Amino acid sequence: MATLQAIRDRIDAAARGAGRDPGAVTLIAVSKTQPDDRVAAVLAQGQRVFGENRVQEAQSRWEARRDGLELHLIGPLQTNKARAAVALFDVIHTVDRARLVAVLARLAQERGHSPALFVQVNTGDESQKAGCAVAEVDALVAQVRGEGLPLLGLMCIPPVDADPAPHFRALRAMAERNGLAGLSMGMSADFETAVTEGATHVRVGSALFGARG
């Protein structure tokens, strides 16, 4: 568990070390399953960008005090939760299949607005993991764009025991060839590596809040 400033300093140092502008890296504080006193402490330190894994948990934590915050959905999204998700979140990082894109497009039509989106890529092609297959990325990106939805970039979660750097590099190459600037990659264990490899959004939970119960 570290202060917000300590995490921010590590991000900034990694960015500078890679010749990047630290201001180009957004820190998403991943508050999923954290007790409210820890979340309150991070809010009190000035953090305003938070990430949650589950729509219902995010609603109960944030709906009543949503003003001034930027909320990111970083967990898998079922289509039957999409309506609630687009009503709550500013950014959805986990668009990973054609059917979900179609549902998000319909909701955007209805509402006249859509959260910003990332396409999640299963860079390790792990059978149990969310994210579209590496071979499907370009087609899914084209579909999101074809629907006129606001697409920021690509997101990945490398395999647990793998060196994350090659996965971050691969994601960056996929984003570049698709003309996408956003890269949501890096968690507590590897966010500095991710920043070195070009992350624009790092998702940090336990290093900031402490271990999840």
Of 54 and 172, the one with the shorter C-beta distance to ligand PLP is 54
CB nearer ligand PLP, residue 149 or residue 202: 202
Rounded least distance, CB 187 to ligand PLP, Å: 4
Nearer to ligand PLP, 178 or 206 (CB): 206
DSSP state of 90: S
C-alpha 169/C-alpha 101 separation (Å) is 25
Nearer to ligand PLP, 53 or 59 (CB): 53
Q: How far is the CB of 137 from ligand PLP (least distance, A)?
A: 17
**Tokens coding 201:** 């959004």
CA distance 170 to 165: 9
CB of 76 to ligand PLP, least distance (A): 9
Identify whether the C-beta of residue 168 lies closer than 8 Å to the C-beta of residue 158.
yes
Closest residue by beta carbon to ligand PLP: 205
Q: Which two tokens stand for residue 16?
A: 């500078």
Residue 48 CB, shortest distance to ligand PLP, in Å, is: 18
HSE toward the beta carbon, residue 99, CA cutoff 13 A: 4
How is residue 136 written in tokens?
């499907």
Residue 140: its H or E element: helix 137-146
Positions touching ligand PLP (CB under 6 A) are 30, 32, 53, 74-75, 157, 187-189, 203-207
